[in-house]
Amino acid sequence: MTAMKIIKGSRKRTEADRSRLRDTVSEIIDNVMKNGDYALMEYNMKFDDCRRDALRISREEIDAAYAKVSEAELEDIKKAAANIRAFAEAQRKTVGELRDFSPSEGIRLGHRAIPVDSCCCYVPGGGYPLYSTALMLGIPAKAAGVRRITACSPVIKGSTEIHPKTLVAMDVAGIDEIYAVGGAQAIAAFSYGTEQIRPVSLIVGPGNSFVTEAKRQCYGKVGIDFVAGPSEVLVIADGQADPEIIAADLLAQSEHDREAKGLVVTTDERLGYAIEEAVKAQLPTLDTEEIAAASWEAYGEILLAESLEEAVEYANEYAPEHLEINVEESRIDDVVAALRNYGSLFIGGNTAEVFGDYASGTNHTLPTLGAARYTGGVWVGTFLKICTYQTMTTEAMMGIAPLVSGLARGEGLTGHARAAEIRMEKNGGKV
């Protein structure tokens, strides 16, 4: 693919950006493994000025959180939850059991979709209460049938409380256990266990670079959804697109954090420059202007493609977390059909990425930094294991054993061969 004209360039991420945290996170994990709850309480004090002995949130604290959330806010949370739940339950129905498949006479194969026993839903706190994430993680886990669903989130700085909207959303999502702890130390606790926290089988959810690195280092001891980096959106647009709408979508990503990325690939040069001007005009209207401006300055990018085909090729190579298609309606089907690598797709100018972030029903926990080349986002299937089984008759065993014996001896594994041959011998067969 030829190099595209750069209307607005960006800083390129390097491996060095991701490697600086490794030693720090490793120390945190080791500390939690050695010192358990004491380490967690120390980190709560250090990072959040939180003095709390009981890490688990009580039912009384959850009930008190409901009293701090308005009726309108609660209704919004429930409406979003209903859409997310409906989609998750529909997804669950697509993952069925395979029963009684027979590749040959007397052999019966199949698989079961078995939920993991337990999971932890990591819900970021930080500067904003991302309570929508509690819905996005807890609800599909519930739909999958996970028996023990836990969640954790940092407290409001200088307090002992998780944000009330986050607690309410966790409760609406059906989460069983909630803990006031965040950061890399939370990932370590749910991976290895402490006095107050039993380890889980799977950890899901987004977080800052410390959380992400901790998930990477703890993977193997615990399952994870994926290793995700800063949020990103790529917009494919032609001349009919509204520059102000695209600018708003770019800034919606940029305000996540200073590392977030907004990227446009357009076939219309005038649109590219109009988007750049629209971003500048809209930035001062945001309460998050400082963060959004820093993100856009460092990582915002506008590229000019010669054709939609070139734009699609670029998108497939980039494999973005969010991918918006804002092109002439007559071209939409062809563009969508050609796209292969993305976390979640938003088709047409009406379909804002933020709708998926909150309430349309699809999940907003998605792969970043090119991971969409090999995985999708969190869904019901994230919490399911596809486990195979088999059984066979004596006749079928006698038929397959010589084949397996020959293959095993061909690899030099005589123990494997004998496990097949002994069954033949005990049923009157000859090796």
Please answer whether residues 166 and 125 qualify as being in contact, where contact means their C-beta atoms are separated by less than 8 angstroms. Answer: yes
Question: How far is residue 121's CA from residue 136's CA, in Å, rounded to a whole number?
Answer: 9
Question: How far is residue 207's CA from residue 216's CA, in Å, rounded to a whole number?
Answer: 12
Q: Which token pair is 377?
A: 């986002």
Question: How far is residue 187's CA from residue 11's CA, in Å, rounded to a whole number?
Answer: 30
Task: Tell me how many degrees the CA angle 95-388-410 measures, rounded to the nearest 5.
Answer: 140
Helix axes 209-218, 183-192, angle to 10 degrees: 20
Place of tokens 């002992």: 160
DSSP code per residue over 324-347: EEES-HHHHHHHHHH----SEEEE
Nearest CA to 188 among 149, 216, 167? 216
Question: How far is residue 191's CA from residue 203's CA, in Å, rounded to a whole number?
Answer: 8
Q: What are phi and psi of 313, to 5 degrees?
A: -60, -45
Hey, what amino acid is at 365?
A: T
Question: How far is residue 230's CA from residue 236's CA, in Å, rounded to a whole number?
Answer: 20
Catalytic residue among 321, 324, 353, 421: 321
Q: What is the largest CA-CA distance in the chain?
A: 86
Question: How far is residue 139's CA from residue 83's CA, in Å, rounded to a whole number?
Answer: 10
Residues 6+ apart with CB under 8 A from 34: none
Catalytic residue among 322, 324, 353, 421: 322
Nearest CA to 429 among 399, 408, 391, 392? 399
Q: What are phi and psi of 9, to 5 degrees?
A: -90, 175
| 322 flagged as catalytic | yes
Hey, what amino acid is at 10?
A: S
Please answer whether residues 115 and 144 qualify as being in contact, where contact means their C-beta atoms are separated by less than 8 angstroms. Answer: yes
Which residues are tagged catalytic?
321-322
